[in-house]
Amino acid sequence: MLSLTGAHSNEAQPHHVDRPDYLTGPKAFIWHYVKTRPGQFATLMVMATTAAACAVAVQYMMKLLVDAMASQHDTTPAFIALSGFIGLIAAESLLWRCSGWLGCRATVGVGVKMRLDLFDYLAGQPIRYFAENLAGSLGQRLTSTAGAFGAFVNTLVWRISPPCIDFIGALIVFSTVDWGMTGALAVAVVLLMTGLIMFGERGRHLHRTFAAEANQASGDLVDVISNMWSVKAFSAHARERKRLSNLFTAEADAQRASWMYTERARFMHDIALWVLAGGMLTWAVLLWSRASITPGEVVVVSALTFRILHGSRDMALSLVELVQHFGFIEDTLKVIGQRQTVRDVDDAPVLSRRGGSVEFRNVVFSYGKAGEALHDINIKIPAGQKVGIVGPSGAGKSTLVHLLQRLYDIDSGSIWIDGQNIHEVTQDSLRQSLAVVPQEITLLHRTVMENIRFARADATDDEIFRAAKAAHCEKFIHGLSEGYDTIVGERGTKLSGGQRQRIGIARAFLKDAPIIVLDEATSALDTESEMEIQRSIVELMHDRTVIAVAHRLSTLSNFDRVIVVEQGQIVEDGKPAELRKKGNLFDRMWRLQAEGLAAE
């Protein structure tokens, strides 16, 4: 067996670290990813603000050009102003194109890292979390969050920073024309912006609701599509269409409310634009009529007034959109950023793989408020022993193997593998020591070969063939259209339940872990095939620990030991033959199954 380094740990309660700070809110989240490429984002902002400054300077050059042409004394100033005008336009265009290139590299690169980070954190959630959240909805949230970040950067760089520079530049230019006009414009724009921002903030709940409804609708749609067999089998097309219609309608209502709120902001700004632009231009013409300003200054006042008022509208509406992007990110963090209930302790060592002994010490576990599922469980399994776990439905059999994999954390007690508390080692190293075959096998939408190799990525083809032969897969695989290269379909739907289970067992053989866990892993097989595979397990895994939750008790006849669980407690423990002689629960279950088979 491969040996990994690790340290022996005591039974102290593990200390769980909290979730990362960047998952606590949208601002921390965005800032975290901006800091991953500080040089690129800083350069991007400099490029955008410089380009905006060039645009303001172009308007001032137009003033100089008009005044130079109006003087008609010397053409040199006019050509100088024209050269500056053309040069600034070229510089502005170049800067915008460079910022577009850099923005693409920065945001797309961060989007990849962001989705991978969110996936990593999502993968650390317990199994219960995935039972409570739709897979399609979670995937949609990962993708939309990266898109929301990109939209946030685009909005900030290209739609918010330029109007800010326009405003500052306009105030500087206006100060050379008339101080009263400068003050009036500053006050008007600040009041307009403040009003629009406050109005936009009041609509934040609408944007957040739209984000939640969109993710819910997307998740339910994927769920229905992935369960299309059930939809057809139960003639549920009309029902599901009506259900999706209700979801899509709710999403559309939320989108309409969010959209129309933004339109109201645009309408308010259009009225303000009409009043302010008309007022500023009238003011400039009056000053010109008194010979207080030049024609060029009238031109620059009118051009910059329209520019900054249009820019203020774009900026205000962009700030509203930023709130929408925040809403999407906030919705994602609310779901995906939930605190993980099963986490590695700080600086947890890896599990040192040895013989594969397992021990449960006074284990108590409950599923929330549903009451105790397991009570005071004490089990000691020596390395290499073959142990069957049986009991009535709901007795807690599968819960035992789930706790061994640390899919949930126990309420009290401890679980040990090779003398190491599994709550104090890394989860990855723990699961590397376990080869688990669940009752319901779900395969990836890949080839048969790739699905078996999923257990051990470095396995050779010959090792895969041997594992498939041991799991009695060879016959049906060779009967497939492309053999080992056959695509199995989403979740393995192109294969029968028994075929999927055989592939799952082949993966367990291939993994070469010291502990094999079979959670009713052969329930979809006929009795003869099940007994053949159980014999293979006993013969080929003679040096490994095997823990098998079994439905057919007869398949455990070659096992070293059987543990009988009832109502979350161990009621019998011993060799199969000995337990049958005692005439208790195991014997009654055995006789009931035997009578059922005889009746068939």
Q: DSSP letters of 10-26?
A: -SPPPPBPPPPGGGS-H
Element spanning 565, H or E:
strand 561-566
The pLDDT, as a whole number, for residue 358 is 93
The answer to whether 45 and 161 have CB atoms below 8 angstroms apart is yes
Does 189 fall in a domain? yes
Q: Is 420 helix (H, G, I), strand (E, B) or coil?
A: strand
Q: β-strand 372-381 against 358-366: which pairing, if any?
A: antiparallel
Does 573 fall in a domain? no
**Nearest partner of 358 among 510, 546, 561, 512, judged by Cα:** 546
The answer to whether 372 and 568 have CB atoms below 8 angstroms apart is yes
Tokens 């979390």, residue located: 129
- Sort 294 into a burial class: Cβ within 10 Å, 0-12 / 13-18 / 19+: middle
Which residues make beta-bridge pairs with 380? 359
One pLDDT digit (tens) per residue for the chain, 600 residues: 333 333 333 343 444 446 778 888 888 898 999 999 999 999 999 998 898 888 878 777 777 777 777 766 667 777 787 888 888 889 888 998 998 899 888 888 898 898 888 888 888 887 777 767 767 778 878 888 888 888 888 888 888 888 888 778 777 777 777 777 777 777 777 777 777 667 766 776 777 788 778 877 877 887 787 777 677 777 778 888 888 888 888 889 888 887 787 777 777 767 776 777 677 777 777 777 776 666 766 777 777 776 766 666 677 667 767 777 777 788 788 888 888 777 888 888 998 888 889 999 999 998 876 667 888 899 999 998 989 899 888 888 888 988 998 988 888 999 999 999 999 999 888 888 888 888 777 788 889 899 888 888 888 999 889 888 888 888 888 888 888 898 888 777 788 877 888 888 888 888 888 898 888 766 656 666 666 666 666 666 677 898 988 877 777 777 889 999 988 899 999 888 888 888 888 888 888 877 655 444
Element spanning 322, H or E:
helix 295-335
**Nearest partner of 255 among 204, 211, 292, judged by Cα:** 211
Element spanning 569, H or E:
strand 569-574
d(CA 83, CA 279): 32
Q: β-strand 561-566 against 569-574: which pairing, if any?
A: antiparallel
d(CA 193, CA 313): 8
Report the domain count for the chain. 1
The CATH number that applies at residue 51 is 1.20.1560.10
E strands of 351-451, at which residues? 358-366, 372-381, 386-390, 412-417, 420-421, 434-437
The answer to whether 300 and 62 have CB atoms below 8 angstroms apart is yes
**Token pair recorded at residue 440:** 């319901």
The pLDDT, as a whole number, for residue 241 is 87
d(CA 311, CA 193): 10
User: Which one-letter DSSP state was computed for residue 496?
Assistant: -
Residues counted in the chain: 600
Query: What residue numbers bound the domain in which 197 lies?
Result: 21-335
Query: Torsion angle, CA of 445/450/453/456, rounded to 10 degrees?
Result: -70
d(CA 56, CA 170): 7
Does 301 fall in a domain? yes
The pLDDT, as a whole number, for residue 551 is 75
d(CA 161, CA 167): 10
d(CA 556, CA 559): 5
Does 102 fall in a domain? yes
- C-alpha dihedral sign at 557, 562, 568, 571: positive
The pLDDT, as a whole number, for residue 518 is 84
The answer to whether 485 and 447 have CB atoms below 8 angstroms apart is yes
d(CA 136, CA 10): 41
**Cβ within 8 Å of residue 182, ≥6 positions away:** 171, 174, 175
**Nearest partner of 323 among 165, 197, 215, judged by Cα:** 197
Does 289 fall in a domain? yes
The pLDDT, as a whole number, for residue 111 is 87
**Nearest partner of 44 among 146, 154, 145, judged by Cα:** 154
Q: What is the 3-state secondary structure (H, E, C) of 55-91?
A: HHHHHHHHHHHHHHHHHCCCCHHHHHHHHHHHHHHHH
The answer to whether 142 and 118 have CB atoms below 8 angstroms apart is yes
Does 80 fall in a domain? yes
Does 268 fall in a domain? yes
The answer to whether 395 and 568 have CB atoms below 8 angstroms apart is yes
The pLDDT, as a whole number, for residue 15 is 40
Which residues make beta-bridge pairs with 415? 360
The answer to whether 30 and 110 have CB atoms below 8 angstroms apart is no
User: Which one-letter DSSP state was computed for residue 157?
Assistant: I
**Token pair recorded at residue 109:** 């690169």
- Quickly count: other Cβ atoms within 10 Å of residue 431's Cβ: 16
The answer to whether 338 and 141 have CB atoms below 8 angstroms apart is no
Which strands sit side by side in the sheet containing 545-549, from one edge to the other?
434-437, 515-519, 545-549, 386-390, 561-566, 569-574
Q: Which bin fits 418, alpha (ψ -120 to 50), beta or left (φ > 0)? A: left
CA 431, chain centre distance (Å): 22
Tokens 């203020």, residue located: 312
Query: Which phi and psi angles does 488 have, rounded to 5°?
Result: -85, -10
Note the pTM of the prediction, 2 decimals: 0.64
Does 97 fall in a domain? yes
Tokens 């709940």, residue located: 205
